[in-house]
């Protein structure tokens, strides 16, 4: 062959090598781009999964006494759990998943608004009830002022100088790993017991610091033990209390919450809660744990 032929072959091979090199470079760039896009999609899926988990926790905190609302909340919680499962499925469409999550988020906002509205209505009813109670107390006080029998009057004043309680709300408390407290009616999940109540307004009682004691009787009839909780007089005998706390009482309705830390696993059944102040029983209620 002549030199021209060799030169021609070399030129063709050179052009072919350059072309193949460009194709390989483009292919590598395409692979890198696809990998980057895939990683972005996976990162977005992970973020969305975290958001769904946070949304589930938010739904868990929604509390209402309305049975219909509670059923709806439970239904949405179930849908969130299904979405979390879908989010872990790499083949499930991310755009559709995001849209479904946003729908559930908007529904939750509506529930929060409804629960707030119900709570406001309950607060108004409670205020009206308190106003009626205050008017009744005032009428009772006027009636006492008209009593002519001194001994009867002294007896009534003596009895009226004892505090009283009402509006009890009791629940078990579960402590999550993040430090958050959630209400529960399960004995196995209850690490604490919370008893909230109102110490009633009584103008006869001397204001100031008061020590409130709780004796909690378990399903087995035994008093739940406490640490340095003091003692109260019961039927003329000194009996250990389960828990105690100080309150600042200023002759007004005073809302109080007392927390008892369980000294071991709590049993299923009914717990009787007795509230004492100055060795006087001022209220009692019950809590049922499943």
Q: Locate the domains of the chain by residue range.
A: 3-116, 162-289
pLDDT tens, position by position, 71-129: 776 777 777 777 777 766 666 667 777 777 777 777 777 666 676 666 676 777 777 77
Q: How confident is the model at residue 41 (pLDDT cuts 50, 70, 90)?
A: very low
pLDDT at 61 over 60: yes
Confidence check: pLDDT of 34 > 60: no
Query: Cα(85)–Cα(92) distance, rounded to whole angstroms?
Result: 10
Q: How confident is the model at residue 221 (pLDDT cuts 50, 70, 90)?
A: very high
What class has domain 162-289?
mainly beta
Which sign does the torsion angle of CA 267, 268, 270, 273 carry?
positive
Identify the band that residue 53 occupies on the pLDDT scale cut at 50, 70 and 90.
confident
- Torsion 48-51-53-58 (CA) sign: negative
Render pLDDT for 122-169 as a digit per residue (tens, 0 to 9). 777 777 777 777 777 776 777 666 665 444 445 444 556 789 998 999
Per-residue b or e along 75-113, where b marks 16 or more CB atoms closer than 10 Å to that residue's CB: ebbeebeebbebbeeeeeeeeebeebbeebeebbeebee
Give dist(CA 271, CA 268) in Å, integer: 9
Output the CA–CA distances (angstroms, integers) from residue 256 to 155, 187, 212, 227, in the order listed: 29, 23, 9, 20
Mean pLDDT of 45-68: 69
Proportion of the chain above pLDDT 90, given as a percent: 31
Residue 32 pLDDT grade (very low, low, confident, very high; cuts 50, 70, 90): very low
What's the mean per-residue pLDDT of the chain?
77
Task: Provide mean pLDDT across the span 17-23.
Answer: 59
> Tens digits of per-residue pLDDT, 222-271?
999 988 888 998 888 999 999 999 999 999 999 999 999 998 889 999 99
């Amino acid at each position: 062959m002549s030199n021209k032929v060799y030169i021609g072959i070399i030129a063709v091979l050179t052009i072919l090598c350059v072309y193949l090199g460009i194709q390989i470079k483009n292919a590598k760039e395409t692979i890198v781009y696809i990998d980057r896009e895939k990683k972005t999609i996976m990162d977005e899926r992970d973020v969305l999964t975290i958001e769904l988990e946070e949304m589930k926790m938010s739904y868990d905190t929604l509390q209402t006494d309305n049975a219909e609302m509670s059923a709806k909340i439970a239904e949405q919680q179930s849908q969130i759990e299904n979405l979390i499962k879908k989010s872990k499925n790499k083949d499930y469409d991310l755009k559709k998943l995001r849209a479904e999550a946003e729908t559930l988020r908007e529904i939750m906002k509506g529930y929060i608004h409804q629960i707030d509205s119900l709570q406001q209505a309950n607060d108004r009813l409670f205020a009206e009830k308190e106003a009626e109670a205050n008017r009744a107390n005032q009428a009772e006080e006027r009636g006492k002022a008209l009593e002519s029998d001194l001994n009867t009057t002294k007896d009534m004043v003596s009895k009226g100088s004892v505090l009283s309680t009402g509006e009890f709300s009791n629940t078990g408390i579960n402590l999550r790993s993040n430090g958050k407290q959630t209400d529960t009616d399960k004995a196995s999940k209850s690490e604490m017991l919370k008893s909230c109540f109102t110490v009633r307004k009584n103008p006869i009682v001397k204001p100031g610091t008061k020590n409130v004691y709780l004796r909690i009787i378990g399903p087995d009839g035994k008093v739940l033990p406490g640490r340095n909780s003091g003692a109260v007089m019961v039927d003329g005998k000194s009996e250990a209390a389960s828990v105690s706390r100080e309150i600042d009482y200023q002759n007004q309705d005073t809302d109080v919450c007392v927390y008892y830390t369980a000294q071991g696993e709590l049993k299923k059944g009914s717990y009787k809660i007795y509230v004492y102040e100055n060795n006087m029983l001022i209220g009692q209620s019950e809590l049922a744990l499943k």
